[in-house]
Structure 1
Amino acid sequence: MIQTLTALAEPNRLAIVELLRDGPRSVGDIVDALALSQPLVSKHLKVLSDVAIVDRRVDGKRRIYALDQRRFAELDRWLDTFAELWAARLDRLQAHLDATGA
């Protein structure tokens, strides 16, 4: 989990992931969309691939990248472990607001 969060903490990698949220893209498409150099995009895609955030497939000379849904399912399960904590805090906030008439 730490590797996933560390990879996503870098702004360019997060931008790539957000771009891929809309569907698979080639490296060239990512370069054009984010106005980054091809070597920089490839470097970031390697990091994202190494931690299984993205999958790559070959289409002729193009490399097509897509999000790996399994990694995001794992992240979702991890975030769910905090849901009860936040629900309890929000319930206390609502009780406080109700008591103060806010």
Structure 2
Amino acid sequence: MSMATDELSRVFSALADPTRRDILSRLGEGPTTVGDLAGKYSMSRPAISQHLAVLDGAGLITRTVSAQWRECSVREGGLDDAAEWVAKQRAEWSQRLDFLEEHIRAKRKERS
């Protein structure tokens, strides 16, 4: 099975991992260095770097280099496409459930 490579699939794939979601939450508090991030997890720095690469590849964070420091921050608008997709799905399912409710009410009236 091949991995989907569209933007939305990369975002949801990145968000599927709890460590990456936690990293995003921490970065939501403000930019931080890779070293500071790595110190908050019981995994190797290369493992954290791999998580950051996935988040960067999904367009959720930015990584900058300044001298010897590598800083990460949340990319503005990185979740916009995913949020839009979820909102669209929610609206469609809400409409379907409303239609189902109307259908059930009509059937109940027919029986009465």
Normalising by structure 1, report the TM-score.
0.76
1:44 and 2:58 aligned: no
Question: Any idea what SS the aligned residue of 2:39 has?
Answer: helix
Q: Moved runs in structure 1, 4+ residues, more than 3 A?
A: 85-90
List gaps (5 residues or longer) in structure 2: 1-7, 102-112
How well do the aligned residues superpose, as a CA RMSD in angstroms?
2.2
Q: By how many angstroms is 1:86 displaced?
A: 5.4
The CA distance in 1 between the partners of 2:34 and 2:45, in whole Å, is 7
Of 23, 30, 44, 1:16 maps to 23
Distance 1:10 1:57 in 2: 23
Q: Which protein is richer in helix relative to its size? A: 1
Higher-Rg structure is 2
Q: Does the 8 A contact of 2:10 with 2:57 survive in 1?
A: no
What is the TM-score of this pair, normalised by structure 2?
0.70
Q: How many residues get paired?
A: 93
